[in-house]
Amino acid sequence: MWKVLTKWYGAENAALLIDINDSYYKILRYILMTEKKGEDIGKYDRLINKEISEFHKLMSTLGESKQCVAIAKEIEDIEIELEERFNKLEKK
């Protein structure tokens, strides 16, 4: 995966994309633990908000690269869906 990402986006952007992926799956894991296991969202609230903040910082950096405009837009759409899921859980 690293070779493909560096070929398409360069080493710096490839590292950002991997960090974004890690952050996304951390957030998703917390949401799924709440949705599927019925755990209290309050238990993960601080962690999710921290990861969302980190995700935004990474996306801001990625958005500065002309090579990554299209993929940044796709990731932003996914992020919006993820935050909507989190917000629904908070309102329950």
Q: Give the residue carrying structure tokens 């935050």.
A: 83
Q: Which helix (H) or strand (E) holds 49?
A: helix 45-63
pLDDT tens-place string over residues 18-62: 999 999 999 899 888 888 888 887 888 888 889 889 988 988 888
- Residue 12 — left, alpha, or beta (φ > 0 → left; ψ -120 to 50 → alpha)? alpha
What is the pTM (predicted TM-score) of this model?
0.81
Share of the chain above pLDDT 70, in %: 99
